[in-house]
Amino acid sequence: MIALTDIEKRFGDNLVLKGVSVAMQEGSVTALIGPSGGGKSTLLRCINLLEIPTSGILRLGEETLRFTPGGRVASKDIQLVRRQTGMVFQNFQLFPHRTAIENVMEGLVTVLKWPAAKARERAGALLEKVGMAHKADAWPATLSGGQQQRVAIARALAPSPRVLLCDEPTSALDPELAQEVVDVLGQLASEGTTMVMATHDLRLASKIAREVVFLDAGSVVEKGPAATIFASPERERTKRFIASLRQEQAAEGR
């Protein structure tokens, strides 16, 4: 279970998240959708504490953290949360001086202190899962964007996280390359991988997500089963946003 209760996040005087409460079941995929600046990426980053909430409660597995304005979070508590998450970023963030397999191995060797042989075996299996085994020894600069993102997904999965967090995983890719990533994430979803993704990609969200949370101006406007939200949302604001996504992606040929 992942639960965020009354989460507020301020950057100075700017209130970015306004008392957001959402829960995500393990084994399910939740899509955070909404306009740019609506708060979805900030909420995602609050789950693994890349952003520390100003106030509220975070529950991730057995860990429960309470945040108060001006309060400090112990580094050991931050690490306990982060070690349960894997993060896939919009712009891949692979190490350019490491091959594909070395990128996947890196966290296992340097953070978890795995022996190199064990880490290489794990990394090879994950590259096979995401269809990148044939590029194990390739440098990131020689890979397409879709290939780099698939390596990044393998890297995020390497330590067997409780939840995979994806921040706009297809937005830096053209439609054809984005489809490679959609297919890989769809495969992971079918295998029961718990995922939370912030995305503008209607195809990704509608194909993979079980639950959808629509955020606008830092508040939850509507949430519910993906099929319901995409087919017959209740709120007029949600209807307008989904219609705009459909128009945008039709124009892009997605």
pLDDT 10s digits, 44-89? 999 999 999 999 999 998 899 999 998 899 999 999 999 999 999 9
- Provide φ and ψ at 175, rounded to 5°: -55, -40
Does residue 13 share a domain with residue 71? yes
Does residue 14 share a domain with residue 107? no
* Number of domains within the chain: 2
Measured CA to CA, the distance from residue 230 to residue 243 in angstroms comes to 9
In this model, does residue 236 exceed pLDDT 80? yes
Report CA 79 to chain centroid distance, whole Å.
Answer: 18
What one-character DSSP code corresponds to residue 26?
T
For CA atoms 174, 177, 182, 188, the dihedral sign is: negative
What CATH code is carried by the domain that includes residue 189?
A: 3.40.50.300
Does residue 187 share a domain with residue 62? yes
For CA atoms 112, 118, 120, 126, the dihedral sign is: negative
Does residue 58 share a domain with residue 17? yes
The pLDDT tens digits of the residues spanning 180-235 come to: 899 999 999 999 999 999 998 888 888 899 999 999 999 999 999 999 999 899 99
Does residue 63 share a domain with residue 171? yes
Query: What range defines the domain where residue 97 resides?
Result: 93-160
Last residue of a domain, one of 160, 188, 218: 160
Last residue of a domain, one of 160, 186, 206: 160
